Structure 1
Amino acid sequence: MFPFYMGINETKYAWMDEGWATIGEWLISPMIDSSLVDLYGVFPTALNAGKETDLPIMTLSNEQRAAYFTNSYPKPAMGYLYIRDYLGDALFTKALHHYIRNWNGKHPMPNDFFYSMNEGAGQNLNWFWKKWFFEVGVPDLAIKNVRKKGKKVEVTIENKTGLPLPVDLNFYYADGTKEKLHYTIGVWKTGKQYFKLRFTPKSALKKLVLYDAHTPDSYPKDNTYSWE
């Protein structure tokens, strides 16, 4: 794995190594078997977020106890996954290669990674790095409101804590079929609390569910809206 090629100090910044190993597992598993969904660390992230033992990812790894696992493995992996989704595969790969070329064997620190990714992508991604890596955040999206406007349905999604998360709205129809709408973390870039989306259902709806395998939610009870 390239973290060894870079010469990262895993003792202090385990997430700069193990986070890549984790996202690798998530992405490679379905390539081996399309029925596999690797959920490694997703539930513990949702369960432990916001508790007294929770700490920012940027906390030195050798000074962590209870938060070591989530801050070293799933949380940074989610950060990488969400930025990849936001930038798109091509631009994300370009930015990552820029970081690797500039810092291989030079023992990069966290800010070297963040600034190199910004430079390689040609974008200021600090709005995301700050929220995801430097602060304690609780993942909590909710379906705030649903209303019909003619043939369209308008859904208001609330980001209850401000932590940037992808929005994945699953539509379950009365005939047993389903669809999904996906929006990247970019919908929260300006710091807004609500995001409205509109769609035209193909037939009678049964329920709406906010869910994706790699998007944790600490309070999933408000992620479903049902017409039953």
Structure 2
Amino acid sequence: MNAPAAGGPKRPASLQKNPRLPQWLRIDRDGTVWITSGKVEIGQGILTALAQIAAEELDIDPGRIRMLAAATDRSPDEGVTSGSLSIQDSGSALRFACAQARALLFERAERQLGVPIAQLRIEDGTIYAANDSTRRTTYWDLAGDRLLDREIEGTPAAKPAREYRVVGSSAARLDLPDKIAGRPCFIQDMVLPGMRFGRVVRAPRGLAQLAALDRSALESMPGVVLVHEGSFAGVLAERE
């Protein structure tokens, strides 16, 4: 794979709102790359898709990627997860963030190895001279000294689609192991001490008024509480 070139398309809105590289990725010395998104995995496979985008743009094996789902204390603020917009919003922003990181790493490799960027190649995070593969370094060695602690500049040149090897190919879903093993992975899986489960009795149409409510059936059920105020009716119970 050749070194990145200059130029690029319009800057994504998510990137304009979250312009700093550390908001999107972190490269650790143990050979892993942490990717953060403001989108939530709700069964649509978005974390797997974003991991593929990051691996593609950084030219690393997808197995090196560690995904961090949306969390208010560490994620880029990307609003809500809805409307099938996660790839369009988060994916495009992450693509440029990773392209910027790759460009910075290549620039540092050029200085460290004394080899022009045009003569550098990369394979799974290892950058080496095209005419002498013994002259090499890695992302994990280059990423220190707060190299990535900066804002993303302009619209970094992303990899052209004709060079894709990861994006567009099948990948093992990152969210499936927890689901298959029955491990908690969604907010609905949380159970707190003294927690009650609730359901609202919905009206058949908007502005409908509750005409009558038979409390007797619910009041005879242990652990079930009726919540009733005006035309609002709901039920609380110890078990879902």
TM-score band, normalised by shorter chain: under 0.3
User: Between Structure 1 and Structure 2, which shows a larger proportion of helix residues?
Assistant: 1
Greater radius of gyration (CA): 2
What is the TM-score of this pair, normalised by structure 2? 0.24
Which structure carries more relative contact order (alpha carbon 8 Å, separation 6+)?
2
